[in-house]
Structures are given as structure tokens and as C-alpha cells.
Amino acid sequence: MDASGFVIDSKLAETSYPLVSLSVCDVRLVDDTRWPWLILIPRVNHAVELIDLPPDIRVQVWQEIDHVSRVLRDNLSPDKLNTAALGNQVRQLHIHVIGRYTDDPAWPMPVWGAGDAIPYDSDALASRLHTLRAALG
């Protein structure tokens, strides 16, 4: 729980590392080296669908998706961005922004359900967190 009483879903928390808190969303790095995979979690308790967010929050979420997408592309040069709000397995609203490469192990299929995650080792994790935190501001 943060100071506002917001709690991140335990499955999201256990499979990702915190990067930054933007105005509305917490941004986290999913622990899978096969592709750079960020998630944005709007700090709105009980939010499930984008369309149920208050309008001003929803516009801010879109802007933060934009920002995170640009940072990911500018720093990690993927061949394609994949952006998605699914929520079939974890109901708490979260938006995936994933950098895809034409030689990554799931291309051209989506990443969900594509084999097992390959976790970061401590050096690679520290490096990636450092780069992304600096760029995400």
C-alpha cells in the first residue's frame, strides 16, 4: 500500500520491479529478459477497464502510455511496440507496453503464454532499471 492507500495486485508485484511513479501510473519492469516489457498501473483502487476511469485520469493514462512507449523505443530500439490492456488473469487495470524484435522468441505472436520468462540476473537488472529510470524521469 502506498501513502494514498493504493495496493498493487500481488501477482503483478511479484513478477515485476518498480521503475517510477508518474502522475497517475506506477511503471514497472516485468522480470523477463526475452523482451523489454513495461506495465503501467493506474493508482486507482478497483479500476478494471480503461473506460471506467474518471475522464481526467483516463486522459492522463493515455499520455503516460505515450511517454512510456517513446522512452522504450528511444532507448531500446524495438522493431515494433505492442500495447495492450487485457486483464484476463489479473483483474487490476494494467497496461502492457512491450518492445518486440523480429528475432525474439515469440515473434510474430504475442508474448502472453509464450513459454517461460527468463529472469534478469542482478547486473542486467541494475543496468536496465538505471537506464529506464533515468529516461522515464
3-class secondary structure, 96: strand
- The minimum distance between CB 4 and a second copy, in angstroms, equals 25
Cis omega before residue 108 (within 30°)? yes
- The minimum distance between CB 2 and a second copy, in angstroms, equals 26
C-alpha to C-alpha distance for 82 and 27, rounded to whole angstroms: 16
18 binds a second copy, rule: CB under 8 A: no
17 binds a second copy, rule: CB under 8 A: no
Question: Which amino acid makes up residue 37?
Answer: W
16 binds a second copy, rule: CB under 8 A: no
Q: What x/- string results for residues 85 through 114 when contact with a second copy is judged by CB under 8 A?
A: xxxxx----------x------xxxx-xx-
- Smaller CB distance to a second copy: residue 2 or 49? 49
In the chain, the N- to C-terminal Cα span, in Å, equals 22
- The minimum distance between CB 3 and a second copy, in angstroms, equals 29
Instruction: Report the candidate in 37, 32, 19 with the shortest Cα–Cα distance to residue 124.
Output: 32
62 binds a second copy, rule: CB under 8 A: yes
C-alpha to C-alpha distance for 15 and 79, rounded to whole angstroms: 24
Among 12, 13, 20, 50, binds a second copy (CB under 8 A): 50
3-class secondary structure, 4: coil
Binding site for a second copy (CB under 8 A): 48-51, 58-59, 62, 65-66, 69-70, 73, 80-89, 100, 107-110, 112-113
